[in-house]
Structure 1
Amino acid sequence: MPTIDITMRKGCSDQAIENCLLQIPKAAEDILENTKKRMLRVSVFEAEPEMNFENGEAVENKINPSVVFTIGPGRSTEAKQKFAAKITEILSENLGCKKEEVRIYILSSEGNHFAIGGRPKVFQKLPEEKKEEK
């Protein structure tokens, strides 16, 4: 069963959270192969304000939404990426954050993925970066 765990700053409105909880399973059914909205479990965790840090310094109300999406086989990489983009859009609209502030980790038996702002992020050096280091 696919699961989504969302961590967000404490104090978001109940209506915003409820909107996310309604829209994300619908998006899963629309985008992911072999997935019905009743199959998806979404959990929300609120982070305490004292745990807000940026560049090692404490800041107020700066916790960005982080999503851990765990899914089994049977869904294409393209569908997972499209779903990550849709989750980013839903969280941005409902929580009032910038899309580039949303982090999504997709944990899959077929390979893990990471997205920032709804776009895949790859942490490897491009060929031209490797040449410049020599």
Structure 2
Amino acid sequence: MREPFRTRIKVRHYELDTLGHLNHAVYHSYGEVSRLELMELAGGLNSGMRDANLAFVLLESHIVFRRELRAGDVVDVTCDAKFGTGKTFHMDSNIYKVDGTLSAEITCTLGLMDLERRKLVDDPRGRIERAGVDLKVLSTSE
């Protein structure tokens, strides 16, 4: 099995809360950075999606905090898509300190929206693939 996509981020001082560790909302932002970079790498932000009148939409985000992050920490944020049946799919991220310590686990539920109808489409995996997105980049399960 392949390793999931990773992007590296340095915790900045202005992202801290009053306790001196990374603000809870910023963990979600780090997950979003990783999701968008992975989608871009896989071709999910290209004209094929626009031509198909489709866009990814975040429906739910859940986080489990494991270890605090402080200013100056450097983290790797993973991202991996998991497709099943129905109109939704998951993109999961883990935030690791560079020493390998797991800091947070993020699970997101997404859908694929028809931008004209403003509704989720059936078979998001198939529609994403037909729009030219490289599923082998997007998901380690492919």
TM-score (norm 2): 0.27
Higher strand share: 2
TM-score (norm 1): 0.28
Higher helix share: 1
